[in-house]
């Protein structure tokens, strides 16, 4: 990579997002829409609540005066009273039941005294303990914007709006290839020189968390023909191809030439970033290809920084950069040439979050990812960023 010009993290991200078009939408059954992305705004067709409802178990009363009223009828949840409230009467009512016409207020049962078919009620204020129709949502209102990630709250609101089928952004299909003659699967005993293929699992898991459908996860030997064949299949099968390792300049790094032979055009190679300098990105038509560095931390960090936003945007979501700030809990040495993305734990400080490195930060120290709540961005430069200084973080 020698004297080649490296680009900034932000520039790299912009070049990725510039290539992304959302994949369009598909209908998904409501219960299955969790963690999907809403493709069209959710607009209320009805008021919510749909009718004036009682907020208490008690009595619907016709005016605000204290006094004794004859109990007539009942309005239960799901079973409204048969008739409007007449003068001099009270209607027994439960929480969530329709408030009968002519009701001034609902008096909670605890405030009343009942006997002989009559109830003594205290003074009441107009509208007391009544939830008005449309108090939460008015018909015609946009309740959830397109592009919103559907969590439990969104799902519940969609249900309450009567949305049984949700238009969701299509999930990108993702193929993850891990290159390296040294790699074996997790169930294998290690022969000399071998390591276990963690990238295929880590990156595929990140891809799923970002909403991609992982259609392929495979291991490729450091061989030009095998690399080309595997990438050819992956490019045909997927919207996003991630390939780890083999993107440097060693004699056994076959990924870049293979991608080039397969018609993938380079958009960048090399980012002013540590870990993750040799990250490669290219496109073939609408298909995105990420060459992630082989070192396990680099692979996960660069996936998070570059591939994840693309996967979100393909689904029509905000790329979701998770930008926030924290103060450093201990000094961090700057790197003169590259921004660093330091894996940090977030602790509660007196004045917001404190970021503390999880442990040693080598790009091979995979366990530095454990417990990391964020990546703290240490800008390139000289000297240290001091304890207590405010830095940008990206939530993981
Ligand atoms: P490379 O980018 O292929 O030169 O790999 C850089 C380093 O990452 C080497 O130490 C590799 O053994 C290691 N590595 C590459 N691929 C994987 C993988 N899938 N899982 C774990 N470590 C890997
Ligand atoms: Mg390799």
Per residue in 34-73, pLDDT (tens digit) is: 999 999 999 999 999 999 999 999 999 999 999 999 999 9
Instruction: Compute, in angstroms, the gap from residue 51 CA to the centroid of ligand 1.
Output: 62
Contact 211 CB / ligand 1 (< 6 Å): no
- The closest residue, in CA terms, to atom 23 on ligand 1 is 294
Nearest ligand, measured from the Cα of 280 = 1
Q: Could you give the 3-state DSSP secondary structure of residue 165?
A: strand
Instruction: Compute, in angstroms, the gap from residue 299 CA to the centroid of ligand 1.
Output: 9
- pTM, 2 dp: 0.93
Instruction: Compute, in angstroms, the gap from residue 245 CA to the centroid of ligand 1.
Output: 5
Contact 198 CB / ligand 1 (< 6 Å): yes
Among residues 103, 148, 149, the alpha carbon closest in space to that of 126 is found at: 103
Contact 302 CB / ligand 1 (< 6 Å): no
**Please, which contacts does 246-251 make with residues 24 or more away whose CB atoms are closer than 8 Å?**
246/179, 246/180, 246/222, 246/291, 246/294, 247/278, 247/279, 247/280, 247/291, 247/292, 247/293, 247/294, 248/1, 248/278, 248/293, 248/294, 249/1
- The closest residue, in CA terms, to atom 7 on ligand 1 is 295
Nearest ligand, measured from the Cα of 196 = 1
Contact 73 CB / ligand 1 (< 6 Å): no
Contact 195 CB / ligand 1 (< 6 Å): yes
Instruction: Compute, in angstroms, the gap from residue 253 CA to the centroid of ligand 2.
Output: 6
Q: How does the average pLDDT of the chain come out, rounded?
A: 96
Instruction: Compute, in angstroms, the gap from residue 173 CA to the centroid of ligand 1.
Output: 24
How confident is the model at residue 264, as a pLDDT? 98
pLDDT surpasses 60 at 2 = no
Do residues 176 and 204 touch, judged by C-beta distance below 8 A? yes
User: Which atom of ligand 1 is least distant from the CA of 298?
Assistant: 8
Contact 227 CB / ligand 1 (< 6 Å): no
Contact 197 CB / ligand 1 (< 6 Å): yes
User: Which atom of ligand 1 is least distant from the CA of 293?
Assistant: 2
How confident is the model at residue 250, as a pLDDT? 85
Instruction: Compute, in angstroms, the gap from residue 32 CA to the centroid of ligand 1.
Output: 36
Q: How confident is residue 3, by pLDDT bands cut at 50, 70 and 90?
A: low
Q: What is the pLDDT of residues 282-302, one digit of tens each?
A: 999 999 999 999 999 999 999
Do residues 255 and 243 touch, judged by C-beta distance below 8 A? yes
Give the DSSP H/E element, type plus range, for residue 10. Answer: helix 9-17
Instruction: For residues 386 and 332, give the distance between their C-alpha atoms in angstroms, rounded to a whole number.
Output: 7
- The closest residue, in CA terms, to atom 10 on ligand 1 is 295
Instruction: Compute, in angstroms, the gap from residue 194 CA to the centroid of ligand 1.
Output: 11
Q: What is the pLDDT of residues 161-177, one digit of tens each?
A: 999 999 999 999 999 99
Instruction: Compute, in angstroms, the gap from residue 224 CA to the centroid of ligand 1.
Output: 17
Q: How confident is residue 329, by pLDDT bands cut at 50, 70 and 90?
A: very high
Q: Report the chain's terminal Cα–Cα distance, integer Å.
A: 29
pLDDT surpasses 90 at 315 = yes
* Structure token pair of residue 364: 């091979």
Phi then psi for residue 368, to 5 deg, are: -70, -15
Contact 291 CB / ligand 1 (< 6 Å): no
Average pLDDT over residues 204-215: 98
Q: What is the pLDDT of residues 259-277, one digit of tens each?
A: 999 999 999 999 999 999 9
């Amino acid at each position: 990579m020698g004297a080649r010009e490296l680009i900034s993290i932000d520039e790299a991200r912009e070049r990725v997002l510039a290539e992304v078009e959302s994949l369009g939408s598909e209908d998904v059954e409501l219960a299955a829409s969790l963690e999907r992305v809403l493709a069209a705004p959710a607009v209320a067709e009805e008021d919510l609540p749909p009718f004036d409802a009682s907020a208490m178990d008690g009595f619907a009363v016709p005016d605000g005066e204290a006094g004794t009223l004859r109990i007539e009828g009942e309005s239960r949840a799901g079973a409204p009273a048969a008739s409007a409230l007449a003068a001099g009467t009270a209607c027994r009512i439960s929480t969530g039941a329709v408030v009968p016409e002519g009701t001034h207020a609902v008096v909670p049962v605890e405030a009343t005294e009942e006997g002989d078919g009559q109830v003594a009620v205290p003074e009441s204020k107009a509208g007391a303990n009544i939830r008005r129709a449309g108090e939460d949502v008015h018909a015609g209102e946009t309740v959830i914007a397109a592009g919103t990630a559907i969590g439990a709250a969104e799902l519940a609101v969609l249900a309450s709006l009567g949305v049984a089928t949700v238009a969701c952004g299509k999930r990108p299909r993702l193929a993850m290839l891990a290159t390296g003659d040294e790699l074996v699967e997790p169930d294998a005993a290690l022969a000399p020189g071998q390591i276990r293929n963690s990238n295929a699992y880590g990156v595929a898991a990140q891809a799923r968390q970002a909403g991609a459908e992982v259609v392929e996860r495979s291991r490729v030997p450091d061989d030009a023909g095998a690399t080309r064949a595997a990438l050819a299949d992956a490019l045909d099968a997927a919207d996003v191809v991630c390939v780890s390792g083999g993107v440097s300049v060693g004699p056994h790094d076959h990924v870049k030439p293979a991608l080039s032979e397969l018609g993938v055009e380079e958009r960048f190679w090399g980012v002013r970033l540590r870990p993750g300098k040799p990250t490669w990105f290219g496109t073939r038509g609408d298909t995105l290809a990420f060459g992630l560095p082989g070192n396990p931390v680099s692979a996960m960090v660069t996936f998070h920084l570059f591939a994840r936003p693309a996967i979100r945007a393909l689904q029509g979501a905000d790329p979701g950069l998770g930008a926030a700030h924290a103060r450093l809990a201990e000094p961090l040495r700057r790197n003169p040439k590259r921004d660093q993305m330091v894996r940090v734990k977030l602790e509660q400080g007196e004045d917001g979050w404190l970021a503390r490195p999880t442990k040693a930060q080598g790009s091979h120290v995979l366990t530095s990812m454990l417990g990391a709540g964020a990546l703290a961005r240490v800008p390139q430069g000289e000297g240290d960023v001091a304890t207590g200084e405010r830095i940008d973080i990206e939530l993981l």
